[in-house]
Amino acid sequence: MSCILQIKNIKKTFHIKKSFFDFKSRSICALDNVSLDLIEGETLGIVGESGCGKTTLGKTIVRLYRPDEGQMLYKKKDITFLSESRLFRYRKMIQFIFQDPLASLNPRFTVGDIIREPLDSFSIGSKSERNSIIIKLLEKVELSGEFIRRYPHELSNGQRQRIGIARAIASKPSILIADEPVSSLDVTVQVKILNLFKTLQKDLGISIIFISHDLSIIENFADRVAVMYRGKIVEIAKSNELYNNPQHPYTRALISAATSLYTTRKKEKIYLEEENENSPKYPNGCSFCSRCFMKAKDCPEKKPVLKEVSDGHFVRCLLV
């Protein structure tokens, strides 16, 4: 099992000003020392509630964002701070699929133009071959060649997401980062698109990072799952282990809230409190502490580290 991507202690902070005349900016630490390995051919799920940093992580990996600190290695090559010109080859190998298929497809382009774009920019095939490559890509995402002349607004959301996938695999990438690619779809369409990802992975040998706010979506899909909370990974394990033996109280709460598409596993009922401005803050302690139903004496005072509790199962909690 070789590691295709290694992320080591990545940090990303956004500085936001309320207005132009505001001298003081507010800082949001979206990624706080995130470390991850992606194994060749696997699907790694990233889950966590809205705002925990999933999209920032995905966009940092494809270098749409530049990390503030840390290191990222693609096939052992350091790509952390590559210049735009040297990023070109890397971008061919690692592609991003956006959450909102309509917003991510240019409405003035036909489906053919949309898929042709990466073929042109990465010089894939000769000009005369590109039409037949586009038709093959459409077939790969289970659409007929006649879609080549259609426009995004003429398609269903599921068909649009298929076009997004065809565009992403056009450059024959080795890694796909899919950012909540099925969130906007009906449940039956979700299942079809998840199956499509699986087929493509088998046929093309792609490694996938699959981002979702809903654990149930990736239950039977991801090989491993990383759970994020406020910019940190709080638990990571093989899927089976994570779903059947969750250790972090936050993971347990997420599993209790998930409506499983596949299993009828008995679940504990855990209700997490919503956070608001008045919620207590513990800057020296665990970031989940104010909502934790298992909070102990040390939790507000001590920062937990990610520790291995069994083979490949890591948890960031003082209580495990």
Ligand X SMILES: Nc1ncnc2c1ncn2[C@@H]1O[C@H](COP(=O)(O)OP(=O)(O)O)[C@@H](O)[C@H]1O
Binding of ligand X by 27 (CB under 6 A): no
DSSP labels for the chain? --EEEEEEEEEEEEEE-SSTT--SPEEEEEEEEEEEEEETT-EEEEE--TTSSHHHHHHHHTTSS--SEEEEEETTEE-TT--HHHHHHHHHHEEEE-S-HHHHS-TTS-HHHHHHHHHHHTT-S-HHHHHHHHHHHHHHTT--GGGGG--GGGS-HHHHHHHHHHHHHTT--SEEEEESTTTTS-HHHHHHHHHHHHHHHHHH--EEEEEES-HHHHTTT-SEEEEEETTEEEEEEEHHHHHHS--SHHHHHHHHH---SS---------PPPP-TTS---TTS-TTGGG-TT--TTTTT-----EEEETTEEE--TT-
Those residues whose C-beta lies under 8 Å from the C-beta of residue 221, and which sit 6 or more positions away, are: 43, 45, 194, 197, 198, 210
Least gap, CB of 277 to ligand X (angstroms): 14
Binding mask 21-60 for Mg ion (x = CB under 5 A): ----------------------------------x-----
Least gap, CB of 182 to Mg ion (angstroms): 13
Residue selected from 8, 11, 28, 71 as contacting ligand X according to rule CB under 6 A: 28
Residue 73: contacted member of ligand X, Mg ion, none (CB under 5 to 8 Å, by partner type): none
Least gap, CB of 104 to ligand X (angstroms): 15
Nearer to ligand X, 52 or 115 (CB): 52
Least gap, CB of 53 to ligand X (angstroms): 4
Residue selected from 4, 30, 218, 299 as contacting ligand X according to rule CB under 6 A: 30
Q: 41-60: which residues touch ligand X (CB under 6 A)?
A: 48, 50-56
Nearer to Mg ion, 54 or 167 (CB): 54
Residue 56: contacted member of Mg ion, ligand X, none (CB under 5 to 8 Å, by partner type): ligand X
Nearer to Mg ion, 63 or 238 (CB): 63
Distance in angstroms (rounded) separating the CA atoms of residues 42 and 176: 11
Nearer to Mg ion, 134 or 178 (CB): 178
Least gap, CB of 41 to ligand X (angstroms): 25
Residue at shortest CB range from Mg ion = 55
**Tokens 């000769």 sit at which residue?**
126
Nearer to ligand X, 120 or 275 (CB): 275
Least gap, CB of 52 to ligand X (angstroms): 4
Nearer to ligand X, 11 or 198 (CB): 11
For residue 87, list its beta bridge partners. Answer: none
Nearer to ligand X, 214 or 241 (CB): 214
Binding of ligand X by 16 (CB under 6 A): yes
Binding of ligand X by 14 (CB under 6 A): yes
Residues that bind Mg ion (CB under 5 A): 55
